[in-house]
Structure 1
Amino acid sequence: MKSLDWVKSKLQNKYIFILTIFILSRIFIWLVGAVYNVFDGSDQSIWDLLFRWDSPWYKGIIVDGYMDSPQGMTGNNAANWAFFPLYPMIVKVFYMMTNIRVEILGSVISSIIILIASFVIYDYCVEIKNEKCAKIAMILLFVGPYSFYTATLYTESLYILFTILFFYFLKKDKWILAGICGGLVSATRVTGAILVFPMMIMFLRPVFERKEKFLDAVKRFFLDGKYLLSFLLVPSGIFAYMVYLYNKVGDPFAFKNIQIAWGRENSNPIDVLIGGFVTYDGKINSPFWIYLGVWAIFGIVISLYMFKKKKFEEGIFSLITIIIPMLSSLQSIPRYVMGNVLVIIFSSLFIEEHFKKSRWIVLGLLIIYNAVLLWLWFNGNPIMP
């Protein structure tokens, strides 16, 4: 009993708790991979098992740079312009320094980045709720559904890190630092530019709360240069990438226009969501699309939950980042939902508030669910990209 009490006391320490869950999460991925190899009759390394779907695109950017013209996929009509540059640039630096296999390097770097992010996420959760919420968030972050993306050659870890830093600095009234982080997010994914909306809500809060007149807020915006600069910094990442693409291929919107190669064309997000459940001729859709539709609804509900909690800055960003991919398709929507750090945080808050007596059962089921998803990822199941 004394040894058990000693373990419990140690886990009360934030850093020990986070490191413990992080290490266990990587052991978890390795164990699922080992079992998968046994049943599959293969002997793939964990690095090769994790190297799926978009990972080869990022590897191509790291090793060979951006393409001069479309030449990818079976129709030779795809190009790696769709993938934003910050993450592959970071991996490339270490690749040039070490010459370690990109598959290994990407996985290790993503894992280190998410570990760094976890400490900020933990403190953020404590500020909005308590330590219990923070610990639940750590479990969801490292071993919750789709958490294995943070161990792959994908942008999830970097996107999560700079998004949470943006909101952390914004809440601390450090506008320039928030703007810089916003710019780094927009250099990681196109949705980073949307961070101007939560920044705008934060700036106008005194007006909404009737503590300041609108005209006085306008004066404050232009007289104090930190506000204008911070707003301009947020989309700087995507603007820099657009300039690069213009010089490279003559089209600053190549990252968007090339999406047609993946069958993504703009549509009404409501129609896309309904289409996940019902086909155009009124029949029930396949389980594949229904599954994706359920995830889209979950993401929207959690975003609205943020509004209920009066976290308007978080809610507007979360809602828009879930609606944007729905402009074209439900494909990959679970990744966009659970790759949103705010969804992780407020899902943790919801579990802490509404499953007080059964939270460990809920978390256990979610971990098992993640193991199934990881297995499907290793197997190259089309539901996973």
Structure 2
Amino acid sequence: MKRYATPLSTVLIFASIKAVGLAVLAFWSHAQEKSALHLLGRRWDSLWYARVAEHGYDFTLTAPDGRELSSMAFFPLLPWLERAVSVTGLTLNQAGLFISAMASVVAALGLFHLGRHVHSPEVGTLLVCLWASLPVAIVQSMAYSESLFVALAAWSLYFLLQDRWGVAALLACAAGLTRPVGVAIGIAMCTHALTRLRRADNRARILASCALSLSGTAAYVLWVGAQRGNFFGYLGVQAAWGNGFDGGYSFARFLGEFISPSPILTAVLLIAIIALSVTPHVMMRLRGYPPALIAYSTVVTAMAMGASGYFGSKPRLLVPAFPLLLLVAIALQRSAKPYLCIASLVMASALYGAFWLNGSGPP
């Protein structure tokens, strides 16, 4: 296995996994008389990112129930990049697909180096394979912001663990302009800073880096508030989309309704959701993972599992929670045939991704 644990071979493996997923999607879509490219680049959130790139944040859409859906729900970095890339002659949607493809490769490299830094090159390669074969890994090839965010997050955390505060903070700031969960990287930096400040000679630089890491998310949220004349304007935008945070209660009630709309069952499911979210982070702590990784993963998981919005998107919201996959990667590295397991996951991911994307609801 060691011969595959290099940056180049890992990228080639990653590209092969993505190619399998795209091939299955193309075959499935053709059988459904649909266009795979259309599904990847011209549906759901990808349309909204393209609208922001084309019209700025003046675009709104009235839902059938009267809600005003604002494009301000979507953070600006991906639309900015789409607009920049479109000068090459690509359409905005094609630019989004190109950015996602390039960012996914950068993300794979970042995950490899992060896994190598925390454990070993073999674990780095397995971490990339696991991330590429998630059940909803097809989103990494869509004109969505997940790949861009993970690329920025993985490299930011990698540089942070090396105490390269400046570049880590700049990448964290960019991630904060990509998705609201970018705040998780800022919290990770602050957590790492607490372990360094007592014996550090560059305290001012560390504190400035922590502030910069949180500035991307803060700047956009404050800008939306200013545009809407309300300090909590961004929360209002998200509420119109049906998004909020209730600690997982709505998700527990949603799951319970498949069995019985019982308050007791909802409470039991909520406790189970919290336990399932907390347990892997306790394991990470007991095994000596860097506190910054644990803090980042905790925030990402809490925001995903505690969100009260469209429940079909929860697996996608967990795509940035890649530190959780380190536990699985280390376990696989100790197994006899890790790549047999990876191959099974790749096929399952490809089939599920094609089925999911050809469905009626957004991911």
TM norm structure 1: 0.81
Runs of 4+ with >6 A deviation: 292-297
- Secondary structure (helix, strand or coil) at the match of 2:143 reads coil
Counterparts of 1:339-354 in structure 2, within 5 Å, are 339-353=320-334
- Other-structure match for 1:213: none
Cα distance, 1:177 vs structure 2: 1.8
Counterparts of 1:328-343 in structure 2, within 5 Å, are 328-329=307-308, 331=311, 332-343=313-324
Q: Is the 8 A contact 1:47 1:103 kept in 2?
A: no
Q: Which has the higher contact order (CA 8 A, sep 6+)?
A: 2
The amino acid across from 1:157 in the alignment is: S
RMSD of aligned Cα (Å): 3.0
- Structure 1 range deviating more: 99-108 or 86-95: 99-108
The amino acid across from 1:151 in the alignment is: S
Quote the Cα distance in structure 1 between the aligned partners of 2:348 and 2:161: 34
Counterparts of 1:86-101 in structure 2, within 5 Å, are 86-95=77-86, 97-101=87-91
Residues 313/100 of structure 1: CA separation in 2 closer, same or farther (3 Å cut): same
Cα distance, 1:282 vs structure 2: 5.0
The amino acid across from 2:139 in the alignment is: Y
> For this pair of structures, how many residues does the alignment match?
353
Larger radius of gyration: 1
Corresponding residue to 2:56 among 62, 65, 88: 65
Quote the Cα distance in structure 2 between the aligned partners of 1:298 and 1:140: 19
- Secondary structure (helix, strand or coil) at the match of 1:319 reads helix
The amino acid across from 1:138 in the alignment is: V
1:28 and 2:36 correspond: no
- Secondary structure (helix, strand or coil) at the match of 2:166 reads helix
Q: Is the 8 A contact 1:184 1:237 kept in 2?
A: yes
- Other-structure match for 1:55: 46
Cα distance, 1:252 vs structure 2: 4.8
1:254 and 2:254 correspond: no
Quote the Cα distance in structure 2 between the aligned partners of 1:105 and 1:166: 24
- Other-structure match for 1:105: 95
- Structure 2: unaligned runs, 5 residues or longer: none
- Other-structure match for 2:286: 308
Q: Is the 8 A contact 2:136 2:349 kept in 1?
A: yes
Residues 158/246 of structure 1: CA separation in 2 closer, same or farther (3 Å cut): same
Residues 299/99 of structure 1: CA separation in 2 closer, same or farther (3 Å cut): farther
The amino acid across from 2:28 in the alignment is: Y
The amino acid across from 1:80 in the alignment is: S
- Other-structure match for 1:5: none
The amino acid across from 1:306 in the alignment is: M
Percent of counterpart pairs with the same letter? 20
Residues 83/294 of structure 1: CA separation in 2 closer, same or farther (3 Å cut): farther
Quote the Cα distance in structure 2 between the aligned partners of 1:181 and 1:101: 27
1:84 and 2:75 correspond: yes
- Other-structure match for 2:354: 375
The amino acid across from 2:117 in the alignment is: E
Q: Is the 8 A contact 1:295 1:333 kept in 2?
A: no
Quote the Cα distance in structure 1 between the aligned partners of 2:275 and 2:37: 33
Q: Is the 8 A contact 2:133 2:349 kept in 1?
A: yes
- Secondary structure (helix, strand or coil) at the match of 2:68 reads coil
Corresponding residue to 1:133 among 120, 123, 135: 123
The amino acid across from 2:70 in the alignment is: A
Q: Is the 8 A contact 1:338 1:344 kept in 2?
A: no
Per-residue CA deviation, residues 241-284 of structure 1 (Å, 9 max, x unaligned), is 13432453334543322122232344243x34533542442597
- Secondary structure (helix, strand or coil) at the match of 2:11 reads helix
Per-residue CA deviation, residues 268-320 of structure 1 (Å, 9 max, x unaligned), is 43x345335424425979xxxx9x99998765443333222222221122112
The amino acid across from 1:191 in the alignment is: V
Residues 194/23 of structure 1: CA separation in 2 closer, same or farther (3 Å cut): closer
- Structure 1 range deviating more: 81-90 or 244-253: 244-253
Quote the Cα distance in structure 2 between the aligned partners of 1:54 and 1:283: 36
Quote the Cα distance in structure 2 between the aligned partners of 1:141 and 1:265: 27
Residues 14/370 of structure 1: CA separation in 2 closer, same or farther (3 Å cut): same
Quote the Cα distance in structure 2 between the aligned partners of 1:346 and 1:115: 22
Quote the Cα distance in structure 2 between the aligned partners of 1:98 and 1:171: 37
Q: Is the 8 A contact 1:121 1:134 kept in 2?
A: yes
Residues 245/99 of structure 1: CA separation in 2 closer, same or farther (3 Å cut): farther
Residues 141/268 of structure 1: CA separation in 2 closer, same or farther (3 Å cut): closer
Residues 147/365 of structure 1: CA separation in 2 closer, same or farther (3 Å cut): same
Residues 159/295 of structure 1: CA separation in 2 closer, same or farther (3 Å cut): farther
Quote the Cα distance in structure 1 between the aligned partners of 2:230 and 2:34: 44
Counterparts of 1:1-385 in structure 2, within 5 Å, are 12=4, 14-40=6-32, 42-44=33-35, 46-51=36-41, 52-67=43-58, 70-74=60-64, 75-95=66-86, 97-205=87-195, 217=198, 224-269=203-248, 271-279=249-257, 280-282=261-263, 300-311=278-289, 312-329=291-308, 331=311, 332-353=313-334, 356-382=335-361, 385=363
TM norm structure 2: 0.85
Cα distance, 1:182 vs structure 2: 1.6
- Secondary structure (helix, strand or coil) at the match of 1:234 reads helix
Quote the Cα distance in structure 2 between the aligned partners of 1:122 and 1:308: 23
- Other-structure match for 1:4: none
Per-residue CA deviation, residues 30-51 of structure 1 (Å, 9 max, x unaligned), is 32123213421x151x321213
